[in-house]
Structure 1
């Protein structure tokens, strides 16, 4: 075997190996999306509302993200919590209190405050977590 045939053979082997390893790879957007479209399990944490880091939750319409969960205070003053990521492609959601919904800025999916899909492309509801307020401690749990 001469040098040209050897290099050609090696190139074809490497190309074949690369193709086989990439089969089934998921295209990503440069790291902003995650493969996880389900909410976190075993959620159980407490937010101290007297801390400045959690001050957004003192006002109706405020929200923050903690432990993979969006925690919000609705226009009516109720605390709600849902998974942080859209069920379509796992982009980070935002809480839009004026519209009483969660919104995905990537593809425009929207969800009710109760987690139900109101506009696609998402087709699965959000995971909703329980909240309990005791004094200035807001517990979020599954």
Structure 2
């Protein structure tokens, strides 16, 4: 194989790889854009004595369960919101230092009560109720 054939082959391989990845991105964005609402019929409990849920024992801790982000605020209250951004359904993170939920994809932010504080999102997050009884935290619609 001479240099020209080799470079031609490499270029075609790179182009095919890029095309496959672009098609995959389009599929993912189409499916994620339809999932910008929170789950319905939410009703589950978390045992805070289990190691898997230990992050919720500390103020500022959070975890994701059943499509919901559950967090313990710096003031010690439990809050729960949908895990996906209302803009394009990317996974949110809880930033306790800023008392907000943050979308790392486009920079949307939401207050602890789910209200949009910075776009491009224009719709508030679905907020769920929480109730602590002993070491059992109930999250429900």
Question: TM-score per shorter chain, which class?
Answer: 0.7 to 0.9
Structure 2 length-normalised TM: 0.79
What pairs up with 1:81-120 in 2 under 5 angstroms? 81-120=80-119
Asked if residue 53 in structure 1 is aligned to residue 68 in structure 2, the reply is: no
Asked if residue 132 in structure 1 is aligned to residue 131 in structure 2, the reply is: yes
Can you give the 5+ residue segments of structure 2 that lack an aligned partner in the other structure? 1-24
Q: Give the number of the structure whose alpha-carbon radius of gyration is greater.
A: 1
Normalized per residue, the structure richer in helix is 2
Aligned residue pairs, count: 117
- Cα pair 2:48 2:54 within 8 Å, conserved: yes
Could you tell me how far apart the structure 2 residues matched to 1:38 and 1:67 are?
13
Could you tell me how far apart the structure 2 residues matched to 1:119 and 1:131 are?
25
Could you tell me how far apart the structure 2 residues matched to 1:120 and 1:80 are?
22
The alignment partner of 1:27 has SS state of: helix
Could you tell me how far apart the structure 1 residues matched to 2:133 and 2:94 are?
23
Structure 1 length-normalised TM: 0.78
Could you tell me how far apart the structure 2 residues matched to 1:86 and 1:30 are?
13
Can you give the 5+ residue segments of structure 1 that lack an aligned partner in the other structure? 1-25
Q: Where does residue 38 of structure 2 map in the other structure?
A: 39
The 10-residue stretch of structure 1 (71-80 or 34-43) with the greater mean CA deviation from structure 2: 34-43
Please report how far the alpha carbon of residue 27 of structure 1 lies from its aligned counterpart in structure 2 after TM superposition: 3.0
Q: Where does residue 120 of structure 2 map in the other structure?
A: 121
Please report how far the alpha carbon of residue 30 of structure 1 lies from its aligned counterpart in structure 2 after TM superposition: 6.9
Please report how far the alpha carbon of residue 100 of structure 1 lies from its aligned counterpart in structure 2 after TM superposition: 0.2
Q: Where does residue 21 of structure 1 map in the other structure?
A: none
The two structures, once aligned, show a CA RMSD in angstroms of 1.8
List per-residue Cα deviations over 1:38-59 (Å, max 9, x = no partner): 1000000000000000000000
